[in-house]
Amino acid sequence: MKRRTAITAGVLYLITHVTSIAAVVLYGGLLDDPLGPGSDTRVLVGGLCDVLLALSVVGTAVALYPVVKRHGEGLAIGYVGLRTLEAAVIVAGVVALLAVVTLRQSGAATEPVAEGLVAVRDWTFLVGPGLVCGTNTVVLAALMYRSRLVPRFIAVLGLVGGPLVFGWNLMSMFGGTELFSAVAVLFVAPVFAWEICLAVYLIAKGFRPTVVPAPVVDREPVAVG
């Protein structure tokens, strides 16, 4: 059962990467010029990819929860909640871009409105896959480090990468840097490595055997004599 759970979680992690990259490619120039030429169908397919991304994000948490809760139920519940929040923010960005498509097709789109909707999507990208993802990465990595369900070097990638992604997006939020730049790769790389290594390990090896500490039971003193 745990082997199947590990494979499911690993596959879902890989799906999140495939769908997120596909969505950005399919959106194309819409993000830079929402009223410019371009296929609305491509944008719709990109939106579908982002919806699949959101479902997979929640799926990873649901799949891992029964296993990791034994090593920290509070953190496990927090991880499910944070992944659900991340997915909800992603979907909000999808809805904004689909609204742009509707306005384009009806001929009612104006530049300020279209650019405003794209700005909503840009902010959801910063908050969801940026700030929230950085936070839930640390939560899961801490659980994995504590439980040794995967090799600790994988968990360390998450413990390092989560704060880097969070910090970079926080700086971008306050105008300290551009969200998309060559330097951003250095901040994102550890989280990318964490998720890929985690996914591949879970698919290939599954969870490592661990010992769950037995609960401490208070015993009443026994009178002698």
pLDDT in tens, 8-25: 999 999 999 999 999 999
Domain spans in the chain, listed from the N-terminal domain onward? 2-204
Cα separation, 155 vs 195, in Å, equals 10
Q: What sign does the CA torsion over 154, 156, 157, 162 have? A: positive
Classify residue 189 by burial, with Cβ atoms within 10 Å: 0-12, 13-18, 19+: middle
The answer to whether the predicted template modeling score (pTM) of the entire model surpasses 0.85 is: yes
Residue 131 has pLDDT above 60, yes or no: yes
Q: What's the pLDDT score for residue 11?
A: 98
**Contacts of range 138-141, beta carbons closer than 8 Å, 24 or more positions apart:** 138/162, 138/163, 139/75, 139/78, 139/79, 139/82, 140/64, 140/68, 140/79, 141/194
Residue 7 has pLDDT above 70, yes or no: yes
pLDDT in tens, 68-127: 999 999 999 999 999 999 999 999 999 999 999 998 888 777 788 889 999 999 999 999
